[in-house]
Structure 1
Amino acid sequence: MNIAASIALLSACPFVSLAAVPVTFSETVLDAAGPKGPLKGTLLTPNSKPTAVVLIVPGSGPTDRDGNNPLGVNASPYRLLAEGLAAKGFATLRIDKRGMFASAMAVEDANAVTIADYVDDVRSWVDVLRCHMHIPCIWVLGHSEGGVVALASAQEEGQVFNV
């Protein structure tokens, strides 16, 4: 069977779609208070009203808000996750850790930051999200070191849920 016949056969099936359904969402850069300068993040919201928002905390090392790392990760896993969640109706906030990338001015030394400092940052971001989104459900999701920060934040914040 040639390629044209395959496409014709697939397009005749009512449950197969060759065209991707476009996912529409909006991106907004947000700031939160940092100790010496602003923390920066990207809010991704679906065009429908979201029922919850997921705060994505980056993993260890120089990992940016998209999940990329100058040491070799360039797949943008956090951005892709955020887009997938937006397609399901969830808003997301991807953040740069204090002292890194767009949040570089938040502290003088990015290597002198503790988990407790990152928990303070999560608290700041939760406050920003509550004011900006007016959504009672905020989930904190982290990978690697970000997972530790998410768990530590849950002990501090009674209304923040962790994934």
Structure 2
Amino acid sequence: MTTPTTLAPPPGARAYPLRTARGDFAVVDVPVASGVEQRGVALLLPGFTGSKEDFHLMHEPLAARGYRTIAVDGRGQFESKGPVDEESAYAQGELARDVLAQADALAAGAPVHLLGHSLGGQIARAAVLLDRSAFASLTLVASGPAEISVAQRQRVRLLRDALAVMSMAEVWEAILAMGAPEDVGGPARGLGGPEQLRRRWLGHSPAQLMATGHQLCTEPDRVGELAAVRLPCHVLSGTRDGTWPVPLLDDMARRLEAHRTVVTGAEHSPNLDRPLPTARAVADFWDRHRPA
């Protein structure tokens, strides 16, 4: 049997450009399962070097629980266009305003559940701090309170240094030469085969990677600001995480008075490592915080 080059989206999924007041964004939009009453709408934001496909394995179980889920490529990620050499276009505030525009386009002003993985969690947090009214809840998946760990900062800085002097294709070849494209190129299982992983890498804007990599290395602790917003929060992680140590995530959850989930057997990408228990925990949380 031939191995598929890409992981197929779940039944009923639509891939299309979501039109918003801030431009078009590539999305995978999955309705609730047939015969199931819709309980809410959720917007899913991927992490650094990631894409909307990183949530492919969660859509179907969430649809069965009554949730329409929309995974999005942010500006300059994979299939969403963005400037290739203008880092200011990817300032965190700009990306947060994109999220607000996406939420408005999806729900026409009704609050949506917001979920962000890793970098996507910090962008989601920034969006909530701009306008809490757009959201019914916030779920932070393997996304910490401030800058990433020392080891990960070193890796991101190496990547930024390479992007400053090499093309995306040349950097990809260097990644392959090191023998670890999944380690440097982000979560890969949502894409399927190596050619699709390469295609995703080349689809990213280098300016987006430079700007968001810098953000990950310098992000301040904004947990106090988020706690003051009083939005229902959920902190979810695996049992191990090299980007933000799990005890740091435990402490962040306490400071937020947030619901806390640790997914056994998962690491930095619970959405890929253990998608079914991750989806179940997310849906359980959303069930308790349905918008009026």
> Shared fold (TM-score greater than 0.5)?
yes
Q: Whose Rg is larger?
A: 1
Aligned pair 1:43/2:29, yes or no?
yes
Task: Answer 1 or 2: which has greater helix percent.
Answer: 2
The structure-2 alpha-carbon separation of the partners of 1:100 and 1:51, relative to structure 1 and needing over 3 Å to count, comes to same
Cα deviation, residue 26, structure 1: 4.1
In structure 2, list runs of 5 or more residues that go unmatched: 1-9, 140-292
2:99 to 100, 107, 122: 122
Query: Cα RMSD (Å) of the superposition?
Result: 2.4
CA deviation vs aligned residue, 1:29-51 (integer Å, no higher than 9, x gap): 2413375x522211111133422
> Taking every aligned residue pair, what percent have the same amino acid on both sides?
24
2:19 maps to 32
2:68 to 87, 91, 94: 91
TM-score of the superposed pair, with normalisation by structure 2: 0.39
Distance, in Å, in 2 between the alignment partners of 1:29 and 1:49 is 24
Q: Could you list the structure 1 runs, at least 4 aligned residues long, displaced by more than 2 angstroms after superposition.
A: 23-30, 32-35, 106-112
Contact 1:99 1:110 in 2 (8 A): no
The structure-2 alpha-carbon separation of the partners of 1:49 and 1:24, relative to structure 1 and needing over 3 Å to count, comes to farther
Distance, in Å, in 2 between the alignment partners of 1:110 and 1:96 is 18
CA deviation vs aligned residue, 1:55-97 (integer Å, no higher than 9, x gap): 101111x211112xxxxxxxxxx11112221121111110001
What is the SS of the residue equivalent to 2:52?
A: coil
CA deviation vs aligned residue, 1:70-126 (integer Å, no higher than 9, x gap): xxxxxxxx111122211211111100011122202x434475512112101101101
Cα deviation, residue 154, structure 1: 1.2
AA in 2 matched with 1:41: V
1:143 maps to 117
The structure-2 alpha-carbon separation of the partners of 1:89 and 1:39, relative to structure 1 and needing over 3 Å to count, comes to same
2:83 maps to 107
Number of equivalences:
125
What is the SS of the residue equivalent to 1:154?
A: helix
1:57 to 36, 45, 48: 45
Contact 1:56 1:141 in 2 (8 A): yes
Contact 2:29 2:69 in 1 (8 A): yes
Cα deviation, residue 156, structure 1: 1.6
In structure 1, list runs of 5 or more residues that go unmatched: 1-22, 68-77
What is the SS of the residue equivalent to 1:66?
A: helix
